[in-house]
Amino acid sequence: MTDWNALSDEAFRRQVRTFFETEYPEELRHLPHRAKFAEIRQWHEKLYAKGMVAPAWPVEYGGMGLEASKLLIFYEEQQRWGVTRGRDMGVQMVGPLIIKFGTQAQKHYWLPRILTCEHIWCQGYSEPGSGSDLASLRTSAVIDGDYFVINGQKIWTTMAHDATHIFMLVRTDSHARTKQEGISFLLAEMNQPGIEVRTITTLAGEDEFCEVFFDNARAPRENLVGELNKGWTMAKALLGFERIFIGAPNLAQNALVQLRTIAQGRCMFSDPVFRDRFAKVALDVEDHAALYSRFADQLKRGEMLGPDVSMLKIWVTETFQEITELMIESAGPDGGLIGPLQLGNVGVDVLANFYKARPTTIYGGTNEIQRNILSKAVLGLPG
């Protein structure tokens, strides 16, 4: 087992960079779409062999246990080389949930299977009538002997058609006093008669999001994570993980690398107006990373993240969008082109980046919801 934190930051960067440059398949660099597992299986096996699947997990659960500075380096190198994030919902969301709230048996069973990708996870939160007002969710799970019986519908479930399992918020007590009470966290297998998945085609023309229908689907009672009816509290605690994940610099860094490729290919760095705009977004990304590392350090010290973590998501997603606007401008008359814009022997898919940036200000709690949270829970503004 490598003790990554024993390396100097520079040595760590060199190792990660060399590994990506020598091992990552050329045809998967800067993938314009969200990869299915079959496409990236071999890459995942290489990561797994190196023990590099879960950079932020503690070492005792098979993670790299990276301190914040190294976690940032890992992400930077990933983006620099255009390495896919993979099918990482298990690593980013379910793992932290189980590590934090799961029983020993649950940790023992689920965590290794996340690392091997024997299980591939999707997240069942939103419902057709419960977007920003998530706590109004209606998908129900009723105890029947050793099982929960699940009925209802989830929507915007990312890559559900390529997932083996779903972790979801379900209503387990419909008579609770408030809508937040009576919600539980449940894990379920996707491949069963009671579950049907339909893909939703996005503006980008990709089948990335899904609707998931539950018609008497079943999950064993031991798949309940944490206490019955306490799911909302846990979901809120988990939001810290989700919001630092969706507030990470990755996407913006990656877009910046590609903007640079276009700008170099089109000799735009000789234009002072473009230089200023490039410097502005590049510094927006760099200073965001400084803020991000403060939160990542907090997490590393074992502290829970507070509602202030929402600021990361607001800043980085809006910066990401600004970068993709600059990419379109830089493409000039090719700004409406589908597929890669060829610049010498490299190609940059301008619109894939642009489309990818659109939902970032919507998912995981819209940026308007994040602003409401910061306003009330951090600034203490009234009403």
Partner 1 sequence: MSNVRAHSQDDLRMLRGSVRTLFERAGGIARARNARDKGWDRQVMNELAHAGVLGVAAPEAVGGLGMGLTAAGVIVEEVGRALTPEPVVSAIALAIGMIQRVCPGDAMLATAISGKIACALAWQERGLRGYSDQMACRFDGKVLNGSKAWIAGAVGADQLLVVAQNDSKPVLVALDADGKGIYSELRRQSDGSQLCDIGFVDAPGKLLAEGSVVSEALSTVVADATALAAAELVGVSAKALELTLDYVKTREQFGKPIGSFQVIQHRAVDLYVAQQVAEAGVSEALARMDVSADQGARIREASRAKARACSTAKRITRESIQLHGAVGYTDEFDIGLFLNRALVLSAWLGDAAYHRARWMDALEANEAGR
Q: Which residues bind partner 1 (CB under 8 A)?
A: 269, 272, 275-276, 278-280, 282-284, 286-288, 290-291, 293-294, 308, 311, 314-315, 368, 371-372, 374-376, 378-383
Nearest CB to partner 1, comparing residues 270 and 345: 270
For residue 175, how far is the Cα from the chain centroid? 33
Q: Least distance from C-beta 56 to partner 1, angstroms?
A: 19
Q: Least distance from C-beta 16 to partner 1, angstroms?
A: 18
Q: Does the active-site annotation cover 196?
A: no
Nearest CB to partner 1, comparing residues 302 and 383: 383
In Å, what is the CA distance from 233 to each residue of 190, 334, 380? 25, 48, 21
Q: Least distance from C-beta 364 to partner 1, angstroms?
A: 16
Q: Least distance from C-beta 286 to partner 1, angstroms?
A: 7
Q: Least distance from C-beta 252 to partner 1, angstroms?
A: 13
- Rounded distance between C-alpha atoms, residue 30 and residue 83, angstroms: 6
Residues in the chain, how many?
383
Q: What would the DSSP string read from start to end of 106-136?
A: HHHHHHHHHHHTSS-EEEE--BTTBSSSGGG
Q: Is 15 exposed, middle or buried (0-12, 13-18, 19+ CB in 10 A)?
A: middle
Neighbours of 177 (CB within 10 A): 8
| b (16+ CB within 10 A) / e for 221-258 | eebbbbebbbbbbbbebbbbbbbbbbbbbbbbbbbbbb
Nearest CB to partner 1, comparing residues 269 and 304: 269
Q: Are 98 and 105 in contact (CB under 8 A)?
A: no
- Rounded distance between C-alpha atoms, residue 369 and residue 221, angstroms: 33
Write down the catalytic residue from 39, 77, 127, 242: 242
The catalytic residue positions are 242
